[in-house]
Structure 1
Amino acid sequence: MNKLSFTALLLCLLSSSLFAESAKTWTPDQIGLGEFSLKPDKSFSYKLVDLLGQPYELKIHAFFPKDHKFTNNTPAALFFHGVAMPFGDFTWE
């Protein structure tokens, strides 16, 4: 009975991989490659903090797709950078 159970389990596991979906490969056009510039379209100051005794503005940098309209409901992504940003440089050039 053990051999039969093991064989049935093995067959189930092996056959399940036949029905699994293959990984989707996205084309550059589908992911919007080249749709965004490296410079923000708009920057917003959202907080003033003390940085080594000096005031420092924390900013949100917004990047919009080409032909973006604020009336459209478009998906968005939000990324947070760590606390070392005041010591770094935002330019990507």
Structure 2
Amino acid sequence: MQNLQEYMLPCLNKKLFGFDCMGCGLQRSLSFLFHGEIIAAFKMYPAIFTLIPLGLLIVTSFFYKFKNINKIINGLAIASVLIIIISFIVKQLI
């Protein structure tokens, strides 16, 4: 994983203001997933497990229309936003 970290984009918010933004950890979490480290990916960015299916469903919905796909997408989007906000608050408190 060390090699991939050299190519990751730095967090501009962290560099300018000194604290993590709500997206900090997403790249590293994806890297952990690519290396099969599921628990480490979750610890780094818990919303990764709702964002990936959300992205896949959004792309799929452009090509195929399923019944209730909009409700599923909306539910995943709301869950993702809630997880992102909650994990951000928890990171700030720790």
Instruction: Classify the TM-score, shorter chain.
Output: under 0.3
Which of the pair is proportionally richer in strand? 1
Tell me which of the two structures has the higher relative contact order, counting C-alpha pairs closer than 8 angstroms and 6 or more residues apart.
2
Q: Of Structure 1 and Structure 2, which has the larger fraction of its residues in helix?
A: 2
Greater radius of gyration (CA): 1
